[in-house]
Amino acid sequence: MTKDPIAIIIDIIRTYMGLTNDQIWQYNSAKVMPNTNGVFVVVDFLASKPYSVTTDNSVSDLGDYQETVTVQNQEMFSIDIFSRDSTARTRKEEIIAALAANYSLRQQEIYSFKIAKVAHRLNNVSQQDGGSMLNKFVIDTTILTWYTNTKIIEYYDQFPASEIFNS
């Protein structure tokens, strides 16, 4: 992939739900939820399961020998939606809709990855925040990604005369 999957997911959700940059961010980015009503979304990477690694050797346009290694992953992401009022409870399904909408499909095509059509789960975790009285829901979803890296490799087809031994 040429772009960070979290950045793409944030863009998809922000665009679909009409959120501002202050309402959606990546987990652990030193932002604090404002003390206002309205909905807020946080996206976090949970885990990755590589399921394929391939190596391809070829010759570049310049005649150099190169290897291309491609890793395909199944990656899990957590999307938290929360609010001090009831907005998170009434808008939680919009996250799932955003990931399946036409804009999402176009982004998946542009960046060559795939978001699962159905989220793994949507849990109410409001009680975990105790006295803060937040309405908070967690949506876990999976995406299929690929990463590729091409490097020039040494190919020993010429040797100095001093290294050739006659027997």
Per-residue pLDDT of the chain (167 residues; tens, 9 = 90+): 678 999 999 999 999 999 999 999 999 887 777 778 889 999 999 999 999 999 999 988 888 889 999 999 999 999 999 999 899 999 999 999 999 999 999 999 999 999 998 888 888 888 766 556 789 999 999 999 999 999 988 766 555 555 555 55
With b for 16 or more beta-carbon neighbours within 10 A and e for fewer, the 98-113 pattern comes to bbebeebeebbeeeeb
- Break the chain into its structural domains and give their ranges: 5-50+73-144
- Mind giving me the DSSP string for 138-157? EEEEEEEEEEEEEEE-----
Q: How far is CA 19 from CA 33, 123, 126, 145, 158, in A?
A: 14, 22, 21, 26, 60
CATH number, domain 5-50+73-144, options 3.30.70.1700, 3.40.50.10260, 3.30.70.660, 3.20.20.80 = 3.30.70.1700
Q: What is the pLDDT of residues 29-51, one digit of tens each?
A: 877 777 788 899 999 999 999 99
